[in-house]
Structure 1
Amino acid sequence: MHPLVLLALSPLLFTPLAHAVDCDNAADQATMNQCAAQQHKAADKELNALYQQITARLTANPDSKKLMVSAQRTWIAFRDAECRFSASGVAGGSAYPLIYGNCITDLTKARVETFKNYLKCQEGDLGCPVPGA
């Protein structure tokens, strides 16, 4: 292979894709922290997709949509504050990203379940704020 091609491809050797992380067998703190971040990213992606579905269903009711947006912003502030508190015992330590990340992921997964329930609302269910599909 031509040396210039190797030089051009060398940055790819240092990307996250070049070094797959085995989260099931993470043995060091840096890897555990990285895995926690990946888990949070996946949960957050699912949450955002469900949020988009909910807000789309609320388009016909701007007041409800406004309440949902406000609730979500408030929930995010709560989640972040709760997890900062939850991880405060290890603040400044190498385990902080893991403890904080796991907390964020757990609370996000719980919110995902709430959103899934909102999306299952049946027509006529007065206790459900999201109209059925």
Structure 2
Amino acid sequence: MRLYAGLVNIGIGVSLLVGAIGNVSAAPIEFCDGEYTTIDLNNCTSKNLDYEDSKLNSTYKTLRGMLDRTEKNNLKQAQLAWIDFRDKSCNFTSRELVGGSMHAIEYTSCLTNYTYQRRIELQKEIYNIQR
């Protein structure tokens, strides 16, 4: 239930941003429909993360191509700091589940949500540059 509540909270925050940047879904893509075993959930949450990571990398490259050298360096430093924050935040969020079968699912879902949020932030930057 805690995982679902977190997804709902993130979805609400992201949906407020969506109107500002155009046609973007209000939540990360979800490959877990109908998946009930721990193995199935691990597989689908991994697919979710892979998908969002790929989309983030593409968005990051697009944005980098629009920036001058100083801005590219600033973006790189921000991205490295963001990755560190994301990983530490998800470690903290999933700490109570360490050693349990749900830990990997919670941790990966957390990474996916942060990755999705970051992609939306970078898409907003692209939108602002293009205006």
TM-score (norm: length of structure 2): 0.73
Secondary structure of 2:127's counterpart equals: coil
Deviations 1:72-106 (A, max 9, x none): 01100100110011001101111111000110011
Aligned partner of 1:37 in structure 2 is 46
- Structure number with greater Rg is 1
Aligned residues: 101
Q: Which residue of 2 aligns with 1:128?
A: none
- Displacement, 1:32? 0.5
Q: Which structure has the highest helix share of the two?
A: 2
Which residue number in structure 2 is paired with residue 14 of structure 1?
A: none
- CA RMSD across the alignment: 1.4
Note the alpha carbon deviations across 1:12-67, whole angstroms, 9 max, x for none: xxxxxxxxxx7311111111111111100000000000000011111xx2111100
Residue 77 (structure 2) aligned to one of 66, 70, 75: 70
Q: Normalising by structure 1, what TM-score?
A: 0.72
**Structure 2 counterpart of 1:49, one-letter code:** S
The residue aligned with 1:105 is 112
Other-structure match for 1:91 = 98
Give aligned-pair identity as a percent: 27
Q: Point out the more displaced range, 98-107 or 22-31.
A: 22-31
CA distance in 2, matches of 1:93, 1:45: 28
Q: Which residue type is aligned with residue 69 of structure 1?
A: K
Name the aligned partner's letter for residue 119 of structure 1.
I
Where does the alignment leave 5 or more consecutive residues of structure 2 unmatched?
A: 1-30
Over 3 Å off, 4+ runs: none
Query: Which sections of structure 1, spanning at least 5 residues, go unmatched?
Result: 1-21, 122-130
Structure 2 match to 1:18: none
**Is residue 46 of structure 1 aligned with residue 55 of structure 2?**
yes
Q: Secondary structure at the match of 1:119?
A: helix
SS in 1 for 2:88: helix
